[in-house]
Amino acid sequence: MNAAVVQAFDAPPAYASFADPTPSPGEALVDVSAAALHRIVRSLANGSHYGSTGVLPFVPGVDGVGRLRSSFGQLPAGARVFFGAARSPFGTFAEQSLASANMLIPLPDAIDDATAAAIANPAMSSAVALLRARFQPGENILILGATGASGRLAAQIAKAHGAGAIVAVGRNPQTLQSLKSLGADATISLNQDPDALLTVLRSELTGKNIDIILDYLWGPPAETLLSAITEKGLQHAARRIRYVQIGNMAGPTLNLAASTLRSSGLELLGSGFGSASLDQIREATTAFFAMIAVNPVEFTYQVAPLREIRSHWNVDTQGARLVFQP
């Protein structure tokens, strides 16, 4: 079959021939129609992600959309599905791939292939994070990194799930402004003096009574936000804040003062493959598809043929998700 093939960790994938996948028990063979280039796909392809096996060559891609080659479980042959790749080396950037029974979701007719492929992974990041935080309707949410594609989507998903106040924090001023029409009650720019940023974060945390933080950035912005959570004095009653770490676009590490944990109601959680079960991921993704089939969300993507993988791999799409089609 034709596929994008990672032959070295320091080079883009090449369009080349690759062995046809053969399903094992619990796997389905899928004719792929669309697969998106997510951040996790890039980091697995360069070997930096914790899930990398380090074994070359392999086909990149962690999920996609396609049609079942034969019946599987209660799904008939030809059923259109969103699916997660079962095992390396068979990723989804290929004409055929393998689907795990744990991540095989029939798609509503109202959602086209490219949209489903583009939107599922970023939607999953916030939908699963809300599950991890045990979100309840009416709770208030702060999104750190809200001007990225996943962050913008998180604001819409949180609002659709009945969030109270939503505070969007990010860098892009135009996107911050647009978030006000997508459900954000307040916006905070990261492009300001650190002391001023600390002050405004502290004000919004207390003024909006934030219950949950969704963090797509980590690094220095998260350090400032965690400092804002730190409370002074010995007489206060700490408010519970569930802090869910999702991405690390601003850096893989940070310094966390012990006093932040002891002086506040902060609870640190992670959301990603490993911290969330496949059942949780499937549940959240299925619910999301059902939601947008009735109430579409705003999301931008671009489509390119898989044979042009090498020329598109490192192109800046200005926040739009890139979808490849065989």
Q: Would you give per-residue pLDDT tens digits along the chain (326 residues)?
A: 999 999 999 999 999 999 999 999 989 999 999 999 998 899 999 988 878 888 999 999 999 999 999 999 899 999 999 998 778 899 999 999 999 888 899 999 999 999 999 999 889 888 889 989 999 999 999 999 999 889 999 999 999 999 999 999 999 999 999 999 999 999 999 999 999 999 999 999 989 999 999 999 999 999 999 999 986 644 455 789 999 999 998 999 999 999 888 888 999 999 877 777 888 888 889 999 999 999 999 999 999 999 999 999 988 887 789 999 99
Answer whether 67's CB lies under 8 Å from 95's CB: no
Q: Is residue 288 part of a domain?
A: no
Q: Are residues 96 and 132 in the same domain?
A: no
Q: Is residue 103 part of a domain?
A: yes
Q: Is residue 192 part of a domain?
A: yes
Answer whether 297's CB lies under 8 Å from 153's CB: yes
Cα–Cα distance, 169 to 179 (Å, whole number):
10
The residue range of the domain holding 60 is 2-107+299-325
Q: Are residues 230 and 311 in the same domain?
A: no
Cα–Cα distance, 303 to 296 (Å, whole number):
19
Length of the chain, please?
326
Cα–Cα distance, 82 to 105 (Å, whole number):
5
Total structural domains in the chain?
2
Q: Are residues 55 and 158 in the same domain?
A: no
How close are the terminal C-alpha atoms of the chain, in Å?
A: 10
Q: Are residues 132 and 46 in the same domain?
A: no
